[in-house]
Amino acid sequence: MTEAMKPSADTGRPPTVKDIVTFLLAFFGQELKPGAAVQPTTDIRTKLGLSDADWTAFADRINAHPPIQAARLSISRGQMINARSVVDIANIMLAGFGEKPRTLAVPAQPGRRKAASKGRPALERNMEFRGPGGDMSFLEELLRADSAKTIVENAPIEVEKAPPAPRDLPQAKAGDEKAAPGHEETGAGDSASFFFALESKPTSGRKTVQGNEVLWGEEFDLLFLYGRLTDNAFAVVDGARGLEAVKQGKVALGVEVIPKGLTLAKGGAFRLVEIKDGKLVGEPPRFELTAPKRSDAEPGPAGAYVTFTVNGAAIYTFFLELRLTDKLSDSPAPPRTINLDLEHVTASANVEPRYARFTIRKRGGPWQVYGSIRNGDDELLPDDTTIINESSLDTVYRESIVPVLRKVADETAWKFVGDDLKLPAEHDAAARACMQKTMTIGYRLYRRFSEDPVFKKMVDMIEALPDGSKITITTDREVFPWEMFYPLHYVDDDVPANFQPSRFWGNRFLIESLLLPTSHDEKIPARRQQVGPLYVSMGLNRGIDAEAPWAGREPLPVDVQHTFFNKDLKGRGRYCEQYDDIVKNIRDADPASVIYFFCHGTAKELKFDNTERRLVADHLDGGENYPGWPLVFINACDAGDLSPLSFYSFRTEFRKRKAAGLIAPCFPVPTMFAAMFAKRFLAAYCERQSVGATLFNIRRELIARNNPLGLWYSLQCPLDLKGPEA
């Protein structure tokens, strides 16, 4: 290599793409076996037949390579999964360094940039490199240089001739303008679009996908692409207006794919995509899927739940339905339009970052679990549970969890909780005893989940997170009591040194439990602050104050909330005590920002006044959407059969009506505590504190006083939701 070509990692100037490519070629020359020729555009992963684990493990070794370290460059394992060549890795590193990426186009092929390539030297046509200052002439020198032949031991480096297209769909990169061979542009508009397409595997030896159709039992790829639509586009992101808004913008968009009726064959469920100046940077995200045999098909439609995230926070979730078939049709269905523009994406850039995301989806008996930390830096690859399922967990709840927590809730001391959520000093010993019982249950839950190999991976990943981490856990049904998980061995104070209430997950983490979409798609408002005026709609069971435990006592649970309403919410809400009025409120398009219920109830119904009628989720069906993205707070106290499966039907029906989600107890809550807890929460909400931070802070305050009851409440909506400004 000539002196002019030797990069310097300590010159003080930002690294150029020439530097990075040279560093990486030297690295792979050391790492790979002799004779494994590597050129800048070689698909190393395919050439060497590397598994996902082997390929992503290169990230750590690349980052440890001295010239890479000296240049302050890095690539994460999550980013590595999207790279295939030295140039891919260089582009990702350069983008992370803050310089405008210069994307290397794939080799020229028939029908691809024909006009642009006329008259250019062969190397420039085959290795086209664009961007301000982007110049690939150094590669020509590098590939010609005699010393370059020793970069990979005993392996001469040659200019690769344009290979045949390895896929039957466009290998789109930023700036591509033409479809890949074999696929025609649809002519649907002149501007480029973001879209989803399917691609057959080359190993199949035949066409196995078309439009949104997939042959039974076949492997295929789902891609998220940018460019002019091709005839294989089956879902298009409607973003023309948004593209104008981000012409000078830059955003990292997370794409998460959770298959339904399909299997994620390789790699994780999460990809991080950089959108810069309205275009994708680097390789498009690719998800490798397998369709089942017809005899193994799950009930219902097959496809994938797709979630777009910004800073780890979900902004849009939708279901991409695929049609499994024995024979591909002659003409595919027209592409579906997904109504999300990039303006919505960039407006979401101020959401509170999530440190971790996990998805738990029921697959017949077991659950399938996925996860990622820090936008894919660490991933839990999809796997099925083998020990824990809904039936076995429900048995644990009924036989050994709920009975103990019921006794905690029935403790007499909680009748004396004050307006400040404090107990009189004479009840301190009772509170500590309740905390000890709760620790025993928390440890039992933690240990039980850790017995399952798949859940253990998830539990270990969460336990290792720093305190204060914000975590998203998405399910298609259950709300697990994560807040109550306690990692230290503790059974009835058998190890006094392990009495450390601060180790409860609810004291360490802000956890939001979300649902996979119940409707076709769901676009979460870009601004997490609700619109419209702050308005609280209350449904109260007045009869609670007349019940035996409260006879002759002050204060009374419902009166506490009446007083708060009249003093702090005057003119900003209404309360109803009659069943008919409450039902009418929820059936109508209630303009409230909070819909609050204080009542008795069970897992599937709520009780108001003295009527025998009960409020059930069916009352919500068919009503118009709520205009204010309201939070629904179901404060069902002294309920007899609450569990983490409670209120699922309410949760789904409120979501269909465009509510933000729920706050609800997972286990029975004592009445006076429930009233005081709600008062404290609503006061903070009226001060526009985010609901996640509010629950977190109240819970920590209670735990510091040996009161575990704040752990009973789960947050089933976005944690950064805030009340309206007005």
Residue by residue, DSSP assigns 353-398 as: PPSEEEEEEE-SSEEEEEEEETTTTEEEEEEEEEEEEHHHHHHHII
Q: Which amino acid is at 174?
A: A
Structure confidence at residue 100 as a pLDDT band (50, 70, 90): very low
Q: Which of helix, strand or coil describes residue 571? A: coil
Q: Look at the chain and count its residues.
A: 726
Using pLDDT thresholds of 50, 70 and 90, give the confidence band for residue 194: confident
Higher pLDDT, 174 or 354: 354
**Signed CA dihedral, 641, 642, 646, 647: sign only:** positive
Tell whether the model's pLDDT for residue 694 goes beyond 50.
yes
Phi, psi at 559, each rounded to 5°:
-60, -35
For residue 121, say if its preceding peptide bond is cis, omega within 30 degrees of 0: no
**What ranges make up the beta strands (E) of 81-121?**
none
Q: What is the pLDDT of residues 232-288, one digit of tens each?
A: 899 988 754 544 444 456 778 889 999 999 998 777 899 988 888 777 888 889 999
- Rounded average pLDDT over 481-498: 95
Q: Identity (one letter) of the amino acid at 703? A: I
Q: Is 593 exposed, middle or buried (0-12, 13-18, 19+ CB in 10 A)?
A: buried
What's residue 130's pLDDT?
A: 33
Q: What does the block give as tokens for 95?
A: 């983008």
Average pLDDT of span 631-660: 78
CA distance 324 to 301: 9
Q: Map residue 584 onto helix, strand or coil.
A: helix
Task: Spell out the domains of the chain, with CATH numbers in brackets.
Answer: 3-150 (no CATH), 193-350 (2.60.40.10), 525-716 (3.40.50)
CB 444 within 8 A of CB 404: no
Residue 695 CB coordination number (10 Å): 25
Give the pLDDT of residue 71. Answer: 84
CA 358 – CA 187 distance, rounded (Å): 39
Q: What is the mean pLDDT of residues 603-625?
A: 86
Strand 713-716 versus strand 378-389 pairing type:
unpaired
C-alpha–C-alpha distance, residues 379 and 82, integer Å? 14
Query: What value does the CA radius of gyration of the chain take, rounded to a whole number of Å?
Result: 29
Q: Using the 8-state DSSP alphabet, how is residue 86 labeled? A: H
The angle at the Cα of 448, spanning 451 to 378, to the nearest 5 degrees, equals: 60
Does the pLDDT value for residue 72 go beyond 90? no
Report, in this order, helix, strand and coil percent for the chain, each rounded to 5.
Answer: 35, 25, 45
Element (H, E) at 567: helix 557-568
Report how far residue 161's alpha carbon sits from residue 144's, in angstroms, rounded to the nearest whole number: 15
Q: Which of 247, 227, 249 is nearest to 237 (CA)?
A: 227
Confidence of residue 127 (pLDDT cuts 50, 70, 90): very low
Q: What is the average pLDDT score of the chain?
A: 80
Instruction: Spell out the SS3 assignment of 165-228.
Output: CCCCCCCCCCCCCCCCCCCCECCCCCCCEEEEEEEECHHHCCCCEECCEEECCCEEEEEEEEEC
Q: Are 40 and 139 in contact (CB under 8 A)?
A: yes
Structure tokens at 143: 């590939």
**C-alpha span between 61 and 396 (Å, rounded):** 44
Report how far apart, in Å, the C-alpha atoms of 657 and of each of 285, 375, 715 are: 33, 30, 18
What is the residue whose two structure tokens read 């796997």?
383
Confidence at residue 34, expressed as pLDDT on a 0 to 100 scale: 57
Give Cα separations from 102 to 87, 92, 263 (angstroms).
Answer: 10, 10, 35
What is the rounded CA–CA span in Å between residue 700 and residue 709?
A: 11
pLDDT at 474: 92
Cα torsion angle, 388, 390, 393, 395, sign = negative
Percent over 70 (pLDDT), the chain: 78
Span 114-127, mean pLDDT?
33
> Which helix or strand (DSSP H or E) is residue 521 part of?
strand 521-523
Q: Are strands 573-576 and 536-540 parallel, antiparallel or unpaired?
A: parallel
Question: Which three-class secondary structure state does DSSP give residue 712?
Answer: helix
d(CA 705, CA 135): 65
Task: Give the confidence band of 638 by pLDDT, cuts at 50, 70, 90.
Answer: low
Cα torsion 617, 619, 624, 627: sign: negative
pLDDT at residue 597 in the model: 94
Read off the tokens for 385: 């549970």
Measured from the Cβ of residue 661, the count of other Cβ atoms closer than 10 Å reads: 23
Q: Span 81-96, mean pLDDT?
A: 79
Q: Which residue has the higher pLDDT, 114 or 226?
A: 226
pLDDT of residue 110: 33
Provide CB contacts within 8 A for 87, sequence distance 6+: 21, 40, 41, 104
CA 99 to CA 286: how far, in whole Å? Answer: 25
Instruction: Using pLDDT thresholds of 50, 70 and 90, give the confidence band for residue 476.
Output: confident
**Encoded tokens for 218:** 């076949």
Q: What is the model's pLDDT at position 656?
A: 85
**Distance separating alpha carbons of residues 529 and 213, to the nearest angstrom:** 40
Give the lowest-confidence range in 302-316, 516-530, 554-568, 637-651: 637-651
- The residues with which 236 forms a beta bridge, in sequence order, are 195, 337
DSSP letter string over 433-450?
A: HHHHHHHHHHHHHHHHHH
pLDDT band at 325 (very low <50, low <70, confident <90, very high): very high
Distance CA 217, CA 250 (A): 39
Is the pLDDT at 8 greater than 60? The verdict is no
CB 142, CB 22: distance < 8 Å: yes
Q: What number is the average pLDDT over the span 85-106?
A: 62
- Tell me which H or E stretch contains 255: strand 250-260
From CA 130, how far away is CA 175, in angstroms rounded?
A: 9
Distance CA 378, CA 371 (A): 8
**Under 8 Å between Cβ of 669 and 634:** no
Report yes or no: 211 and 234 within 8 Å, Cβ to Cβ: yes
- Backbone φ and ψ of 710, nearest 5°: -65, -20
Can you give 257-317 as a three-state secondary structure string? EEEECCEEEECCCEEEEEEECCEEECCCCEEEEECCCHHHCCCCCEEEEEEEEECCEEEEE
Q: Residue 248 has what pLDDT?
A: 53
pLDDT at residue 96, as a whole number: 67
Q: Which of 193, 202, 247, 245 has the alpha carbon at shortest distance from 224? A: 193
Model pTM score? 0.72
Please, is 595 exposed, middle or buried when counting C-beta atoms within 10 Å of its C-beta (0-12, 13-18, 19+)?
buried
Given a contact cutoff of 8 angstroms between Cβ atoms, the answer to whether 527 and 518 are in contact is no
Sole residue written with tokens 């005081």: 676
300 pLDDT band (50/70/90 cuts)?
confident
Higher pLDDT, 101 or 583: 583
Confidence at 200, pLDDT banded by 50, 70, 90 = very high
Strand order in the sheet with 510-515: 378-389, 366-373, 356-362, 470-475, 510-515
Assign 3 a pLDDT band (cuts: 50, 70, 90). very low
Predicted confidence (pLDDT) at residue 358 exceeds the cutoff of 70:
yes
Q: Show the tokens assigned to 434.
A: 């309740």
Contact criterion met (CB below 8 Å) for 435 and 484:
no
Q: CA 548 to CA 457: how far, in whole Å? A: 48
